[in-house]
Structure 1
Amino acid sequence: MRVLFSCVPAIGHTYPLLPLARAFARRGDRVAFMTAAGMTPVLAAEGFDHLPAGPMPDALFAEAAARTGQDAAADPTPESVSAFFGEIRLDTTADEAVAVAREWAPDLVVNELTDTVGPLVAAVLGAPLATLSFGPGVPAEFRTAIAASTAPHFTARGLDAPATLPAGRWLLDLCPDALGPVGIPDGVTRLPLRPEAHRGPDGDVTPALAPPAPGRPRVLVTFGSHFGDPEIVLDLLTAMRDGVDAEFVGTALPGAGPAEPRLVPFQPMAGLLAGVTAVVTHGGAGTVLGALSLGLPVVVVPQGADQFIQAAAVTAAGCGVATAPGRPDPERLRAAVRTVLEDPAYAAAAADVRKQIDAMPSPEEVAAALSGAI
Structure 2
Amino acid sequence: MPAPTSPGGALRLLIVAPPLAGHLLPARALALAWAARGHRVSWVGPESALRPVLGPDAVVHPTGARLFREQAVGGAAAVRSLWDGFVVPHTRFTLGAVRRAVEQWRPDVVLVDQHSPAGALAAHGAGVRWASFAPSSLEIGDPPFDDRELASWRDEVLHGLWERAGLPAAEFTDPRFSPGLVIAPTCRELAGLDRVPAEYALVGPLLADRPEPPFPWERLAPGRRRVLVTMGTLSAEVAGDFLHRAAAALAELPDVQAVVAGPPDAALPPGALACDRVPVLELLERGAVDAVLCHGGMNTAVESLVHGRPLVVAPIRHDQPVTAGRLAALGAAVRVDFATATAGELRAALRSVLDDPSFRTAAQLLGRQLLSGGGTVAAVERLERFVRAKR
TM-score by length of structure 1 reads 0.84
Q: Pick the structure with greater CA Rg.
A: 2
Residues 44-79 of structure 1, C-alpha deviations (whole Å, 9 max, x = no match): 5162211122534xx2225xxxxxxxx345555353
Residues 330-361 of structure 1, C-alpha deviations (whole Å, 9 max, x = no match): 10011100000000100000010111122111
* Cα distance, 1:83 vs structure 2: 1.8
How far apart, CA to CA, are the structure 1 residues paired with 2:210 and 2:216?
12
Q: 2:6 maps to what in 1?
A: none
8 Å CA contact retained: 2:134, 2:182: yes
Secondary structure of the residue that 1:279 maps to in structure 2?
strand
Q: 1:104 maps to what in 2?
A: 105
Residues 288-339 of structure 1, C-alpha deviations (whole Å, 9 max, x = no match): 1111111110111112222111110110110001101325211001110000
* Cα distance, 1:149 vs structure 2: 1.5
Question: Which of 179, 196, 209 is the equivalent residue of 2:217?
Answer: 209
Report the number of matched residues. Answer: 358
Q: 2:329 maps to what in 1?
A: 316
Secondary structure of the residue that 1:226 maps to in structure 2?
helix
Q: 2:228 maps to what in 1?
A: 220
8 Å CA contact retained: 1:144, 1:164: no
Q: 1:269 maps to what in 2?
A: 280
Q: 1:181 maps to what in 2?
A: 192
Distance 1:199 1:233, change over 3 A: farther
8 Å CA contact retained: 1:32, 1:50: yes
| 2:244 aligned with 1:235 | yes
How far apart, CA to CA, are the structure 2 residues paired with 1:359 and 1:95?
39
Segments of structure 2 that go 5 or more residues without pairing to the other structure are: 1-10
Q: 1:360 maps to what in 2?
A: 373
How far apart, CA to CA, are the structure 1 residues paired with 2:40 and 2:265?
36
| 2:39 aligned with 1:19 | no
Secondary structure of the residue that 1:61 maps to in structure 2?
coil
Question: Which of 176, 182, 185 is the equivalent residue of 1:165?
Answer: 176
8 Å CA contact retained: 1:136, 1:313: no
Residues 129-167 of structure 1, C-alpha deviations (whole Å, 9 max, x = no match): 222222435345667754531323433423333247323
Residues 63-101 of structure 1, C-alpha deviations (whole Å, 9 max, x = no match): xxxxxxxx3455553533332354322222212221233
8 Å CA contact retained: 2:207, 2:376: no
| Aligned residue type for 1:356 | Q
Q: Cα RMSD between the aligned structures?
A: 3.1
| Aligned residue type for 1:280 | L
Distance 1:83 1:234, change over 3 A: closer
8 Å CA contact retained: 2:112, 2:132: yes
How far apart, CA to CA, are the structure 1 residues paired with 2:227 and 2:80?
37
How far apart, CA to CA, are the structure 2 residues paired with 1:222 and 1:361?
27
| Aligned residue type for 1:82 | W
How far apart, CA to CA, are the structure 1 residues paired with 2:152 and 2:363?
32
Q: 2:133 maps to what in 1?
A: 132
How far apart, CA to CA, are the structure 2 residues paired with 1:349 and 1:219?
18
How far apart, CA to CA, are the structure 2 residues paired with 1:211 and 1:262?
8
Q: 2:68 maps to what in 1?
A: 60
Matching of residues 79-98 of structure 1 within 5 Å: 79-98=80-99
Distance 1:189 1:73, change over 3 A: same
Q: 1:330 maps to what in 2?
A: 343
